[in-house]
Amino acid sequence: MSDYTSDELLTVAAARALRNDDVCFVGIGAPSAACNLARLTHAPDIVLIYESGTLQTRPDVLPLSIGDGELCETALTTVPVVEMFQYWLQGGRISKGFLGGAQIDRFANINTTVIGDYDAPKVRLPGGGGAPEIAGSCGEVLITAKHSTRTFVEAVDFVTSLGHGRGPDDRRAAGLSTAGPVLAVTDLCLLEPDARTRELVVTSLHEGVTRAQVEEATGWPVRFADEVATTPPPSDEELRVLRDLHERTERAHAGN
């Protein structure tokens, strides 16, 4: 089972960043697949919390949305959204949160609000939802995104969710004590904030990906770590579990 897609590698790499003792705020899509892959492999005790208020969810298939009945049916309990945000998230009880966005800049700030000028935008996006609270209150934030110059821009048009601002002191200046984004997982590489500047730097290239490919797909002169690793390919077990999960999901959503 050595053949795999870039999407599968992205999901596997994100799943590997999760620990068995994590309490994770899960998003729909790639984050949900990554979190449930981790739960079904190396992190069976991970606690998954979805924005709809479902706690310790253990879905058998991936949900279509945060309102999918699969989440309530497989959760330990469901609490009001207000309680989930105020007590669990803003109370500092969630160790990992997943975010993505239309734009992500070199300091891991995220835009999901507008493309272009705020008062006269080219595109008006869905907005922040709970993302700003996730960015500020989760112990650590993981970012997942497809790698392109359209997404990875030098500076976002609007800061919906604060990453590292413009440098190492900006989160503290904003009154935040959490770590913020610690890892960005793309279909080309892994990026982590530099310890001194907090700018995202490439720390691992996926198998077969060149530095030139990453440079061409990034909207700023991206830096590489002194020692750049090669991301280990998905194992046979990781691929089997992930593909089984997607197959079950497709059958369930097809009504079979």
The answer to whether the Cα torsion of 214, 218, 224, 230 is positive or negative is: negative
Is 227 considered catalytic here? no
- DSSP H or E run through 27: none
Alpha-carbon gap, residue 106 to 89, rounded angstroms: 26
Residue 35 CA to residue 14 CA, distance in Å, equals: 8
**76, 52 Cβ separation under 8 angstroms:** no
3-state secondary structure 39-107: HHCCCCCCEEEECCCEECCCCCCCCCCCCCHHHHHHCCEECCHHHHHHHHHCCCCCCEEEECCCEECCC
Cβ–Cβ under 8 Å, residues 100 and 69: no
Is the CA virtual torsion 134, 11, 203, 105 positive or negative? negative
- Residues 51, 70, 133, 238: which is the catalytic one? 51
Residue 186's nearest CA partner among 142, 130, 138 is 142
Q: Tokens 């309990």 sit at which residue?
A: 77
CA pair distance 194, 152, nearest whole angstrom: 17
Report the catalytic residues: 51
